[in-house]
Structure 1
Amino acid sequence: MTAAEQISVPEPVLREDRLDYTPTARSVSLSRRRTARLVAEWGHPGLSGDAALLVSELATNALLHGAIEGRLFRVHLTLTATTFRIAVSDARGERLPGLREAGDDECYGRGLLIVARLADRWGVEPRTVGKTVFAELALRQRPDMPMGSRELRASPSRS
């Protein structure tokens, strides 16, 4: 078996949180605050601002474009040794997100541009009912940090 044919083994999950929210504006702010708090508690306080912004954008999109009356949306946070993943699931699988340029006079339409700029990787996964939109932030070890210590990778596009 060649290296290309080998099946990749997923990294062990170090921390995980999953919570369902009602499709209201208040739920977006609740999910944002919960994410910031958990990321800091999980040992990555420098990552909490980016994570909170990402969950806010994804939850807002679930509210605006994925809500179905009587159905909740889910925020699923996962931390491994190398990645922090935010996944937001909603019930509208037929309404897939896509990047677009918003006009100067438009109030909406920039959320996924923010996600694409901030996240190291993002995408959409189909579900039996609905979809999941995810964003991932890579964690890297700095050369001056002791083994086992991790922090957010400094990206040249972030300033």
Structure 2
Amino acid sequence: MAVPHPSSAVVLKEDRLDYTPFPSSVSLARRRTARLVGEWGYPGVAGDASLIVSELAGNALLHGRVLGRLFRVHLMLTASVVRIEVSDARGEQCPKPRSPADDEQFGRGLLIVDALAARWGVTPRTVGKTVWAEIDLGRAENGSGNRAD
């Protein structure tokens, strides 16, 4: 599912920030995402966006961590989507959804991303990878948080 960001999409708003690979960075990224997406006029999808960032940043921390390297959260708003990208330095560790047992504590993050995002995938980089997800803005009604599915 490696669909890169469409080059024809005009980015209306954008935010990019590098984080230290510590657990507190995941909550910082989640809160920043919720605030920015709301400020950009889409409070109805801010919760979904922040949960996706939390899951992808958590994966970058757990599976993509390289000593001395940061992970990056890049948010983009176009006329039709909120795009979330989380980049880390470990390209050999590509995420794949799995079916954890009921008593397993971990393993549901990408299932959550898949449920909330219209599409998601992985793009290799020269060093590392970017895991991205897109939320279609047509799914929210007037920024109220109600979906028009």
May I ask how many residue pairs the two structures share in their alignment? 144
Could you say which residue in structure 2 is the equivalent of 1:154? 147
1:90-122 Cα deviation digits (max 9, x unpaired)? 000000000100111111000000001110000
SS at match of 1:140: helix
- Structure 1 pair 153–104 and aligned structure 2 pair: CA distance change class (3 A): same
Tell me how large the CA RMSD over aligned residues is: 2.1
Could you say which residue in structure 2 is the equivalent of 1:69? 67
> What is the percent sequence identity of the aligned residues?
63
Unaligned runs of 5+ in 1: 1-7
Decide which of 116, 121, 129 is 1:131's aligned counterpart.
Answer: 129
The answer to whether structure 1 residue 20 and structure 2 residue 18 are counterparts is yes
The answer to whether the Cα contact below 8 Å between 1:102 and 1:108 also exists between their aligned partners in 2 is yes
Could you say which residue in structure 2 is the equivalent of 1:94? 92
CA distance in 2, matches of 1:86, 1:113: 16
Letter in 1 for 2:36: L
Regions of 4+ moved over 2 Å: 149-156
The answer to which structure, 1 or 2, has the higher relative contact order (CA under 8 A, 6+ apart) is 2
- Structure 1 pair 84–153 and aligned structure 2 pair: CA distance change class (3 A): farther
Relative to the length of structure 1, the TM-score reads 0.84
> After the TM superposition, which of the residue ranges 9-18 and 75-84 deviates more from structure 2?
9-18
1:20-50 Cα deviation digits (max 9, x unpaired)? 0001100000000000000011001111100
Could you say which residue in structure 1 is the equivalent of 2:108? 110
Unaligned runs of 5+ in 2: 1-5
**Which structure has the bigger radius of gyration?**
1
The answer to whether the Cα contact below 8 Å between 1:18 and 1:74 also exists between their aligned partners in 2 is yes
Question: How does 1:18-97 map onto structure 2 within 5 Å?
Answer: 18-97=16-95
Could you say which residue in structure 1 is the equivalent of 2:3? none
SS at match of 2:137: strand
